[in-house]
Structure 1
Amino acid sequence: MPLLPLLGLLLAAAQPAPQSDAGITVEASRITPEQARIASTAYARAGLPPNPNYGQYARWQGPICASVRGIPDPAVAGLVLARIKAAVAETGLKTAESGCKPNLTVAFTDDARGLVGLVKAKRRSARPRFDPVLFSQLDSATLPVRWWHVLTPADPGGSAATVDSGALASASSNAMPLGNVLPAGPDAIGTNSWNSSLVDTNLSVWAKAGVAVVDVNLATGVSLEALADYIALVMLAPMRLPPDAPGVPSVLSLFDGSTRPTGLSIWDRAFLKGPYAMQMNRSAQRQRQQLISAMARELVADVPPQ
Structure 2
Amino acid sequence: MPHRRFLPLLLLPLLALPVTAQDVLPEIVVQAPGEAASQAFVGDVLDSTHGKQLARWHQPLCVTLRGFTPDQEDRFTKRLQEAASIAGLHPPKAGCRPNAIVLLTNAPDLLIDRMLAQHPGIFAPAKPSEVRRKLADGGVARVWSVALTMGADGSTPDAATKGGATITSVKIAPGNATRLASATRADLFRAMVILDVKGLAGLPLDAVADHVAMRLLGQMGEAEGGRLPSILSLFQTDAGTRPLALTDWDRALLRELYTAPAGTTADRQRRQIARRLTETAGSEP
TM-score, normalised with respect to structure 2:
0.80
Counterpart position of 2:276: 294
**Could you say if the C-alpha distance between residues 67 and 60 of structure 1 is closer, same or farther in structure 2, counting changes exceeding 3 Å?**
same
**Could you say if the C-alpha distance between residues 243 and 136 of structure 1 is closer, same or farther in structure 2, counting changes exceeding 3 Å?**
farther
**Could you say if the C-alpha distance between residues 36 and 121 of structure 1 is closer, same or farther in structure 2, counting changes exceeding 3 Å?**
farther
| Partner amino acid, structure 2, of 1:137 | K
Counterpart position of 1:77: 73
Instruction: Verify: 1:190 aligned to 2:169, yes or no.
Output: yes
Counterpart position of 2:7: none
Q: Which runs of 5+ in 2 are unaligned?
A: 1-11, 161-166
Residue by residue, what CA displacement relative to the aligned partner does 1:116-146 show, whole Å, maximum 9, x if unpaired? 2233333344216538676423023x31111
Instruction: Verify: 1:256 aligned to 2:254, yes or no.
Output: no
Instruction: Verify: 1:59 aligned to 2:68, yes or no.
Output: no
State the Cα distance separating 1:28 from its structure 2 match.
6.5
Whole-Å separation in 2 of the counterparts to 1:218 and 1:27: 26
Residue by residue, what CA displacement relative to the aligned partner does 1:80-106 show, whole Å, maximum 9, x if unpaired? 000000001000011211111111111
| Partner amino acid, structure 1, of 2:19 | L
State the Cα distance separating 1:290 from its structure 2 match.
2.0
Whole-Å separation in 1 of the counterparts to 2:120 and 2:150: 20
Is the Cα–Cα contact under 8 Å of residues 155 and 193 in structure 1 kept in the other structure? no
State the Cα distance separating 1:157 from its structure 2 match.
4.2
Whole-Å separation in 1 of the counterparts to 2:34 and 2:180: 28
Map 1:29-44 → 2, pairs under 5 A: 31=32, 35-44=33-42
State the Cα distance separating 1:70 from its structure 2 match.
1.0
**Could you say if the C-alpha distance between residues 289 and 128 of structure 1 is closer, same or farther in structure 2, counting changes exceeding 3 Å?**
farther
Is the Cα–Cα contact under 8 Å of residues 257 and 273 in structure 2 kept in the other structure? yes
**Could you say if the C-alpha distance between residues 266 and 78 of structure 1 is closer, same or farther in structure 2, counting changes exceeding 3 Å?**
same
Q: Secondary structure at the match of 1:59?
A: coil
**Could you say if the C-alpha distance between residues 75 and 208 of structure 1 is closer, same or farther in structure 2, counting changes exceeding 3 Å?**
same
Is the Cα–Cα contact under 8 Å of residues 152 and 262 in structure 2 kept in the other structure? no
Q: Which of 152, 155, 179 is the aligned partner of 1:156?
A: 152
Counterpart position of 2:257: 275
State the Cα distance separating 1:237 from its structure 2 match.
2.2
**Could you say if the C-alpha distance between residues 134 and 37 of structure 1 is closer, same or farther in structure 2, counting changes exceeding 3 Å?**
farther
Whole-Å separation in 2 of the counterparts to 1:128 and 1:295: 34
Q: Secondary structure at the match of 1:86?
A: helix
**Could you say if the C-alpha distance between residues 154 and 16 of structure 1 is closer, same or farther in structure 2, counting changes exceeding 3 Å?**
closer
Q: Highest CA radius of gyration, 1 or 2?
A: 1
Instruction: Verify: 1:122 aligned to 2:111, yes or no.
Output: no
Length, aligned pairs only: 262
Map 1:65-214 → 2, pairs under 5 A: 65-71=62-68, 73-127=69-123, 129-130=125-126, 135-140=132-137, 142-162=138-158, 190-194=169-173, 196=176, 198-201=178-181, 202-214=183-195
State the Cα distance separating 1:59 from its structure 2 match.
0.6
Q: Which runs of 5+ in 1 are unaligned?
A: 18-25, 165-187
> Per residue, is there more helix in 1 or in 2?
1
Q: RMSD across aligned C-alpha pairs, in angstroms? A: 3.1
State the Cα distance separating 1:39 from its structure 2 match.
2.2
Whole-Å separation in 1 of the counterparts to 2:13 and 2:202: 17
**Could you say if the C-alpha distance between residues 15 and 296 of structure 1 is closer, same or farther in structure 2, counting changes exceeding 3 Å?**
closer
**Could you say if the C-alpha distance between residues 239 and 138 of structure 1 is closer, same or farther in structure 2, counting changes exceeding 3 Å?**
same
Counterpart position of 2:163: none
Deviates more, 1:192-201 or 1:40-49: 192-201
TM-score, normalised with respect to structure 1:
0.75
Whole-Å separation in 2 of the counterparts to 1:251 and 1:294: 19
Counterpart position of 1:220: 201
Whole-Å separation in 2 of the counterparts to 1:92 and 1:292: 19
Q: Secondary structure at the match of 1:85?
A: helix
Q: Secondary structure at the match of 1:55?
A: coil
Whole-Å separation in 2 of the counterparts to 1:257 and 1:196: 47
Whole-Å separation in 2 of the counterparts to 1:90 and 1:16: 16
Is the Cα–Cα contact under 8 Å of residues 29 and 247 in structure 2 kept in the other structure? no
Is the Cα–Cα contact under 8 Å of residues 126 and 150 in structure 1 kept in the other structure? no
Whole-Å separation in 2 of the counterparts to 1:225 and 1:282: 34
State the Cα distance separating 1:257 from its structure 2 match.
4.2
Whole-Å separation in 1 of the counterparts to 2:169 and 2:203: 45
